[in-house]
Amino acid sequence: MKFFVDTADTDEIRDLAATGMVDGVTTNPSLVAKSGRDFMEVLKEICEIVDGPVSAEVTATDHETMLAEGRKLAKVASNVTVKVPLTWDGLKTCRALSDAGTQVNVTLCFSANQALLAAKAGATFISPFVGRLDDLGLDGMELISEIRTIYDNYPALSTEILVASIRTPIHLKQSALIGADVATLPPDVLRKLANHVLTDKGLEAFLADWQKTGQAIL
């Protein structure tokens, strides 16, 4: 499974990328707004930090303007993935950009039918939002399982499942068990994956025993 980090904070991205755990980055207008910086400047900097796909979202809602914005974003760097919403205009834009060789991330997916449409439109990635479904009392993981089954039924569909709106490490584990291709994680959730109380206790015991020896490696 590939890990993308879901943030526009370049300091966070640099820090996490140094671990080798970051295969890409996803951004959206809300995340860029939080950074307080110029959108195109932030996008260019992120693309220089990571080699993998960097999703940059269009802000228009009509096909023609989406397409123009997508083409402009794609020129920023070779690893830009244009993110479009799962609407009919977004799907038309996805097809046009995909046919031109640009990677496309179709976002705001909440049903398996939507995911099938995105795949047929040539999406590189489909982004189902599991956390937002859970917020409504629905089962976000059920959607991931349905999409995995549908895509596996038709090998000609090459779209990768990019699980979004991940809130907890449990979401990540369940996505991996189902066989999702990518998970995009907020920095704090990515860091939590390494945490376990027994790891902390074991390390504390090992260090206490080592201190008793009076030795030092350096």
Mind giving me the DSSP string for 128-186?
EBHHHHHHTTS-HHHHHHHHHHHHHH-TT---EEEEBS--SHHHHHHHHHHT-SEEEE-
- Distance CA(115)–CA(137), nearest Å, equals 21
Note if the pTM is more than 0.85: yes
What distances in angstroms separate CA 28 from CA 39, 116, 153, one per listed residue? 10, 23, 31
Q: Which tokens belong to 173?
A: 């584990």
Write out the catalytic residue numbers. 83
Structure tokens at 86: 């799962």
Task: Please tell me the predicted confidence (pLDDT) of residue 94.
Answer: 98
Q: What is the pLDDT of residue 33?
A: 81
How high is the pLDDT of residue 136? 96
> How many H-runs (helices) and E-runs (strands) does the chain carry?
11, 8
pLDDT of the chain along its 218 residues, tens only?
A: 999 999 999 999 999 999 999 999 999 888 888 888 899 999 999 999 999 999 999 999 999 999 999 999 999 999 999 999 999 999 999 999 999 999 999 999 999 999 999 999 999 999 999 999 999 999 999 999 999 999 999 999 999 999 999 999 999 999 999 999 999 999 999 999 999 999 999 999 999 999 999 999 99
Predicted local confidence at residue 188, as pLDDT: 96
Return the amino acid letter for 81.
T
